[in-house]
């Protein structure tokens, strides 16, 4: 099956889309180094893919889901059958088919996720949007919440996806954590995709340091906890996030430096790595589904850290928004006084009396008691009492053209 090729490069359109999506446009163009390909000429190329013009040309790119569908491959079994052999990992496992060619895959799990191909046209639309409108919030920045050493370091063991690093940075900024350390990130560092995913937490990304080993990443710490969802046969304290935060706050107050180690997205931490920690942190979860997304785990620890301190606020605080406290939000209003409430009680009781509501009359005292109990319990504001009195007056006498002429 033919593929749409870019000029004389021999590259399919999908290869250009993939590079721009994974590396960002400004990094991908020098990397590709294709004569005549710049931001201006990239636009129609992306449009070709985004608009699925390839369908009219009866061509598809290798690795695209459109090609998989065009070849009649509807399942993993169909995919395997089209190859002569699929080599898994180091070759200890091999899948034999009835087709042609040999394919290498790092693991069966990877094959299960990738066999159907990618939606390159969707990627092209995203890159096209960035080409025309720029990176959303790419220039947003902030400032560290605390001085160096006043918050625990967040250490990521061999993170695989730059997007996850960016989302971790965003979670850290939400809860006042500034010190992010990476151990051998798969796609290198610095990484522009991580900055995009950080959604404005650029100061965390800018100060992030990559280390070649765990020993170097934790070298200046005096206490470190390791997060895990699996039980380990290690004689170490097991803590909840709340307990770990309390321990770190005590130590940091004494001038110590602390950190929390988080595992790989796919496999977590190895026991030999956990052995370097002073304590284990285990988050209360559903025991039948204990795996957390990397940024979610960092978010939970960050939330407990912020909650235990004094610098947090409920929601954002801006020039026009004051800090909030939990409880009933009053703004500039005030609770009604007892005098105002009694005035309302006498008003509504008088109108009910006039309308003949208290019938039979011997139950009048009980009904009035119930009414006063009900309205007292609502804790009305001064404005709400005035509104209630306006409602009673309107129901009794009407308003404007509806006013009862006999009243």
User: Is pLDDT of 261 > 90?
Assistant: yes
User: Is pLDDT of 123 > 90?
Assistant: no
Is residue 276 within 8 Å of residue 218, measured between CB atoms?
yes
Using one digit for the tens of pLDDT, what is the confidence trace for 231-259?
Answer: 888 889 999 999 999 999 999 998 899 99
How far apart (Å, rounded) are the C-alpha atoms in residues 401 and 209?
A: 74
Work out the percent of the chain whose per-residue pLDDT is above 70.
89
Amino acid 323: pLDDT: 61
Using one digit for the tens of pLDDT, what is the confidence trace for 127-152?
Answer: 888 787 665 444 445 666 667 778 99
Section 94-113 average pLDDT? 88
Amino acid 327: pLDDT: 66
Instruction: Indicate the pLDDT class of residue 328, thresholds 50, 70 and 90.
Output: low
Residues for the chain: how many in total?
407
How far apart (Å, rounded) are the C-alpha atoms in residues 313 and 326?
A: 10
Instruction: Indicate the pLDDT class of residue 8, thresholds 50, 70 and 90.
Output: confident
What CA–CA distances, in Å, run from 147 to 166, 221, 227, 258, 322? 21, 16, 25, 14, 25
User: Is pLDDT of 100 > 60?
Assistant: yes
Amino acid 190: pLDDT: 87
Work out the percent of the chain whose per-residue pLDDT is above 90.
50
Amino acid 141: pLDDT: 54
Section 20-24 average pLDDT? 84
What CA–CA distances, in Å, run from 254 to 180, 218, 222, 240, 257? 22, 18, 11, 22, 9
User: Is pLDDT of 403 > 90?
Assistant: no
Amino acid 287: pLDDT: 79
Structure-token pair, residue 298: 């960092």
What mean pLDDT is reported for the chain? 87
Amino acid 341: pLDDT: 94
User: Is pLDDT of 30 > 50?
Assistant: yes
Helix axis angle, 120-133 to 39-50, nearest 10°: 140
How far apart (Å, rounded) are the C-alpha atoms in residues 282 and 292?
A: 11
Is residue 54 within 8 Å of residue 60, measured between CB atoms?
yes
Amino acid 136: pLDDT: 47
Amino acid 213: pLDDT: 94
Using one digit for the tens of pLDDT, what is the confidence trace for 164-207?
Answer: 999 999 999 988 898 999 999 998 998 888 988 888 888 899 88
């Amino acid at each position: 099956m033919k593929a749409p090729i870019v000029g004389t490069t021999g590259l399919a359109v999908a290869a250009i889309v993939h590079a721009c999506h994974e590396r960002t446009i400004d990094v991908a163009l020098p990397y590709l180094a294709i004569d005549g390909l710049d931001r201006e000429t990239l636009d129609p190329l992306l449009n070709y893919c985004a608009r699925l013009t390839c369908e009219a040309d009866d061509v598809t790119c290798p690795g695209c889901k459109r090609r998989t569908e065009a070849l009649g491959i509807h399942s993993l079994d169909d995919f395997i059958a089209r190859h002569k052999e699929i080599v898994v990992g180091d070759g200890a496992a091999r899948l034999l088919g009835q087709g042609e060619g040999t394919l290498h895959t790092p693991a069966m799990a990877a094959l299960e996720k990738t066999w159907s191909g990618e939606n390159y046209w969707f990627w092209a639309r995203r890159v096209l949007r960035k080409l025309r409108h720029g990176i959303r919030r790419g220039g947003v920045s902030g400032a560290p919440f605390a001085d160096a050493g006043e918050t625990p370091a967040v250490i990521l063991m061999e993170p695989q996806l730059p997007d996850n690093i960016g989302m971790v940075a965003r979670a850290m900024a939400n809860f006042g954590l500034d010190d992010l350390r990476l151990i051998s990130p798969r796609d290198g560092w610095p990484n522009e995709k991580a900055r995009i995913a950080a959604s404005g937490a650029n100061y965390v990304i800018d100060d992030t340091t990559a280390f070649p080993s765990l020993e170097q990443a934790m070298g200046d710490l005096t206490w470190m906890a390791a997060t895990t969802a699996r039980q380990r046969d290690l004689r170490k304290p097991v803590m909840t996030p709340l307990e770990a935060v309390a321990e770190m706050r005590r130590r940091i107050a004494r001038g110590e430096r602390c950190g929390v180690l988080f595992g790989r997205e796919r496999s977590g931490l190895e026991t030999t790595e956990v052995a370097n920690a002073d304590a284990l942190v285990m988050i209360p979860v559903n025991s039948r589904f204990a795996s957390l997304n990397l940024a979610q785990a960092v978010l939970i620890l960050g939330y407990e850290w912020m909650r235990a301190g004094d610098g947090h606020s409920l929601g954002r605080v801006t020039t026009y928004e004051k800090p909030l406290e939990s409880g009933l939000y009053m703004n500039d209003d005030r609770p009604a006084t007892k005098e105002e409430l009694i005035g309302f009680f006498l008003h509504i009781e008088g109108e009910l009396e006039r309308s003949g509501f208290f019938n039979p009359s011997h139950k009048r005292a009980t009904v009035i008691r119930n009414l006063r109990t009900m309205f007292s319990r609502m804790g009305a504001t001064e404005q709400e009492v005035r509104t209630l009195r306006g409602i009673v007056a309107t129901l009794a006498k009407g308003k404007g053209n509806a006013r009862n002429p006999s009243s």
